[in-house]
Structure 1
Amino acid sequence: MVEIKTPEQIAKMRAAGLVVAAIHEATREAAVPGASTKDLDDVARKVLADHGAKPNFLGYGGFPATICTSVNDVVVHGIPDTATVLKDGDVISIDCGAIVDGWHGDAAYTAFVGSGHAPELVELSRVTEESMWAGIAAFRKGDRLVDISRAIETYIRRQPKPGGGKYGIIEEYGGHGIGSQMHMDPHLLNYVSRKRGKGPRLVPGMCLAIEPMVSLGTPLTHVLEDEWTVKTDDGTWSSHWEHSVALTEEGPLVLTARDGGKAKLAEYGITAAPDPLA
């Protein structure tokens, strides 16, 4: 069953989303050469404490940290530790969440450590982020879940990859419903699968975490012995972007974006829903 939220519940999710946005801002500033991924986890813990929020990653299925720190060829679920020290030229995706009054927020971004990154890595992150926004723009009343998947895949497939070839759209992981729990129905693929059908119709009150993961090569991945860290099979580097989004009667509200998604949605001719906490 897909959980349908009331406007009051969406307001609480917006509060959680703003905490996630604050974590993103703080960890982005801290992701510098010489910092360990454990340092970034400590930054996130402080932001949560300062806002009186709870982490939703820590302890989830046994996960041992507050955030996921996925460096270079790690796609998702990298575990912060003191041994992984960021270097100039690294790419890191940071995924994190927060709980406020029992309601969840969840979002991820890709950051560049230091300077001098290869143009194909910059373009990889741009394509992944923009495909996320294409999916958010497709979160429309009356359409189907597959329309979001199609928008994400179509955007990625239409982008020329520097050096030729195709981007790898990660197949084993995707977006999800979110609300009173972090991971809920429906599961959202980042590509169209005939086996999955059209999915549920999109209605006001639905909330989704929309999160494409894209690599410079293969879409195939494997999990390391820690049972969490997911790497690309061919060792190519990857990018991960995510926002939690609510569909309201007035349109989409990007719960984990500072401006509610107003600026980016305007590029698609879409007016973001009013911010219930403004």
Structure 2
Amino acid sequence: MELFYKILPALLALLSGLAFTGILMYEKGSAMSILRWAIWLIWTFLLFAILGFVNSKTNSIITGFIVLLAMSFLMGILYLILAPMTLSWWSNDSLLDVFIAGLSLYFVGIAGYIITYNLLDHENPFQYLLLSGSPAFLLPALIFVSYELWMKIPALRYKTWTYPVNEPVPRLVPVETVRVMMNFTPVPGKNEPFEGYEVEYPGNTTLGQLFHYFISFHNKHREYRKKPIQFLSDNQLPLEWMLFKYSPQRKKIILDTEKTLFENDVKGNDIIYAISTNPIRS
């Protein structure tokens, strides 16, 4: 009976590992090579069994924990390296493959560790506390998958405004006007220094129309036209503009050029910044 209680935790871990293998077999079907996967399970069982034997020879909890933690992490790295080389159905792009297969190997390995450790009659009241270092086997997979998912996050791209070269300059009606400071970059690709001056525009007109008028007015003014605002690239393509302002906490707030000043929550004496960039070809 004593022997049964010693191997019971190992049997439970082994059954858990085989359960995850069953999930893999169900999902992969005939594409999964049972023989190759069985070899993986056996090798993992043996490696963890050897690790259990090594730890059974030390009375130091700290040393045993460090050994189990380090070796589990190393085997987790080997799993990620060798799996795509030996398992044709395994893909590191699949969360199912990486984690379900990893959990299957992990529990089978823990079964090997517990059997060896317990059968050597190693009386250690903290033997199961040592197992807290074993999940390090899955840590490389977690790091790898997290990095892959992070790399797949699309780059943040704001909606930009381009000068409507084929549209007439809008006529502004001075109703409900708002006085703002309009700062801009005269040439693309330079975030600073900004140039600009104070203007007064109707607050119920879209920001895109206002900026269209602003560029046209600036480039025709006898004083300002000496340094015109460039709105076409060297290839005669419309530049892309992003307009923004800062909150009182100095947080950048991107303005929607299809909304009015009021809808963009632009108030009197606010400073609007306009940055131009060369068009991005898709």
TM-score category by the smaller chain? under 0.3
Where is the helix percentage greater, Structure 1 or Structure 2? 2
TM-score by length of 1: 0.26
Where is the strand percentage greater, Structure 1 or Structure 2? 1
Which has the higher relative contact order, 1 or 2, with Cα contacts under 8 A spaced 6 or more apart? 1
The structure whose Rg is larger is: 2
TM-score by length of 2: 0.26
